[in-house]
Structure 1
Amino acid sequence: MTPPDPESLRLLVLVGELGSIGAAAAELRVSQPSASKRLSSLERRLGLPLVERTRQGCTLTPAGIMVCDWAKQVLAHVDGLMNGVRALRAQHQAKLRIAASMTVAEYLVPRWISQLRVALPDVHLELDVANSVAVAEAVRHGHADLGFIETPVPPEGVSVRFVTRDRMVVVAPPEHPWARLHRPLTATELAATPLIVREHGSGTRETLYRALSELGADPVTPLLELRSTTAVRNSVVAGAGPAVLSVLAVATDLTEKRLVDVPVAALDLRRPLHAVWRSGLQLTGSAAALLAIAMRTPELRA
């Protein structure tokens, strides 16, 4: 026996309460013929006569009364289930889980979040900071609603939208020999120098290595490998060695001459910043609003 559907049970309960198929149909906003057909189908499915039809209206049979009482219990549980689901959906929609690569998370996302909270003050925001590969994985597996990455080539398996363009610069401490050069470095010289770099999976590192590879230069083993943009920047300021970082991370240091911008001939260190979200989903609500804010970011040329 196939279990009856909740709407058929709800119709039976209303017929018992209102004494009329027509009144029950009107309550459920269906036609009377459709309601009558549904009741007949329910009787056939259960193998029991449930309703006595007369010219004066309808009454439930003894079996119908018992089934109606059980149906009320079932419907109470169904209504409780749906109320709980609606509450969970409302809670989920009011929470926005963001994942962002290091540079974007440290220098752009705070500004975007501040603007979002002006428009949507009740949204609860969660930010997970990781490298670009980890961000894409978080989005792909549903652990983040919206991600921002720095890799020059967007990953597969996610929806992608261009946000803005960043520029990276070679930086060195003022006492480094590169600070006294009167000509640009060559890509070969840069590749042959041990640098302070981010870990594998970082968009910063991938952009640098891809740009060097396009000029036929293979980078040597790094001087230091660190897991955050801030750690790389602090190491360069402390005099540990040169690095390649987003202009976002070192703009103040360059202005205040704690670091020197070292030009490199023919090396293109521009990179796109992308938003990513789970493939096949359409962004709505707070996620769509944050993406719109992010896409108004001007291209970073300084």
Structure 2
Amino acid sequence: MHVEDLRWFVVLAETEHLTEAAAALGTSQPNLTRSLQRVERAFGVPLFERERRGVRLNPYGRLVLEAARAGTAAVDTAQRRIDALLDPDSGTVRLAFLHSVATSLMPDLLKAFRAVAPQVEFELRQEPAHDIVQDLESGEAEIAIVAPRPDPARFGWHLLERQRLCLHVPPGHPLASRRRVELEAARDEPFIGLQPGFGFQRVTDRLCREAGFTPQLAFEATDLATIDSLVGAGLGVAILPAGAVRGNDSGAVSVPLAGVRARREIGMSWRSSTALSPAAERFRAFVRSRPVTAS
């Protein structure tokens, strides 16, 4: 039994006449009869009472009619949703991104893309890097804006931005007037950082480790804007990407870190083994056409 058999069954149940139902369906009466037999075999009972002038649903048939109407409607809804997803002009892009790009890179990308594809929808997921990789693997996300680069053997990659890393210090701090600062100069300062598991916190830990110390965390936040605000309030210092926090008038001063490794690369990633939906492919092509930026 196929979905089409249920559709034909519904028409026959509504007309209660084989010839009329066959005509309405644009098929022959023998074809309709065979379709009905498949439905009855699937349920194991007769669904109609045969009468001289036509057919009439029996109690079993009325139960099947209710289910057939609901089932075919659900299938039709699923098909419409699939068709919408497959439309590059009005589909949906399942996109995951880092907390640390939520107020900078992400709004720029989305605004620029919606200017050329206003009907495309986005299903957004804001997550730590390790959750993003899991979502790419499971298919929950098709595309991700992430750092660091995931496993090149399994994921595609396109570099979007090289971010200069800076030491954010409270206003009036002794380091605030410097043009550039060695991270070691902040070794005795309390640090405001991200909670464990966030990819950017691993960047902070690595840089401090290379500078010869372990940062003493005064507070662990879940987003960069909170870190910037707490630094501005004088609770400590923090390592943040240049330009990562916008519209936050905290008063914190951003001093570039010295050293060529004081950079972070943000990129777009996708699972190499799986084809993207048309809408996601359109978004990927758009993003890849944009120049790499540096901050």
Instruction: Say whether the fold is shared (TM-score over 0.5).
Output: yes
Residue 280 of structure 1, CA deviation = 1.6
In the alignment, structure 1 segments of 5+ residues that lack a partner are 7-16, 18-58
Residue 219 of structure 1, CA deviation = 2.1
The residue identity in structure 2 corresponding to 1:206 is: R
Distance 1:300 1:66 in 2: 66
Residue 177 of structure 1, CA deviation = 1.8
Distance 1:241 1:222 in 2: 9
Describe the shift of the 1:233–1:73 C-alpha distance in structure 2 as closer, same or farther (beyond 3 A). Answer: farther
Residue 217 of structure 1, CA deviation = 2.2
The answer for the alignment partner of 2:131 in structure 1 is 134
Residue 227 of structure 1, CA deviation = 0.3
Consecutive aligned runs of 4 or more in structure 1 exceeding 4 Å deviation: 71-74, 79-85, 155-158, 250-253
Task: Report Cα offsets for 1:247-279 as digits up to 9, x if no partner.
Answer: 1225777xx993333344436221111222345
The question of 1:199 aligning with 2:195 is answered yes
The question of 1:70 aligning with 2:66 is answered no
The answer for the alignment partner of 1:166 in structure 2 is 163
The question of 1:175 aligning with 2:196 is answered no
Aligned residues: 247
Residue 97 of structure 1, CA deviation = 2.2
Q: How does 1:1-302 map to 2 (within 5 A)?
A: 67=34, 69-71=36-38, 80=72, 83=76, 85-93=78-86, 94-151=91-148, 153-155=149-151, 158-164=154-160, 165-180=162-177, 184-213=180-209, 215=210, 217-250=212-245, 258-266=251-259, 268-302=261-295
Q: Is the 8 A contact 1:196 1:242 kept in 2?
A: yes
Distance 1:109 1:154 in 2: 19
Query: What do you get for the CA RMSD once the two structures are aligned?
Result: 4.1
Distance 1:115 1:65 in 2: 53
The residue identity in structure 2 corresponding to 1:169 is: C
The residue identity in structure 1 corresponding to 2:96 is: A
The two structures have a TM-score, normalised by structure 1, of 0.65
Distance 1:115 1:184 in 2: 33
More helix by share: 1
Describe the shift of the 1:301–1:95 C-alpha distance in structure 2 as closer, same or farther (beyond 3 A). Answer: closer
In the alignment, structure 2 segments of 5+ residues that lack a partner are 5-18, 20-28, 42-67
Percent identity (aligned):
21
Classify the secondary structure of the residue corresponding to 1:137. helix
Task: Report Cα offsets for 1:97-138 as digits up to 9, x if no partner.
Answer: 221101222212222222222332222222222222222222
Distance 2:240 2:173 in 1: 17
Residue 231 of structure 1, CA deviation = 0.6
Q: Is the 8 A contact 1:171 1:243 kept in 2?
A: yes
The residue identity in structure 2 corresponding to 1:97 is: R
More off after superposition, 222-231 vs 237-246: 237-246
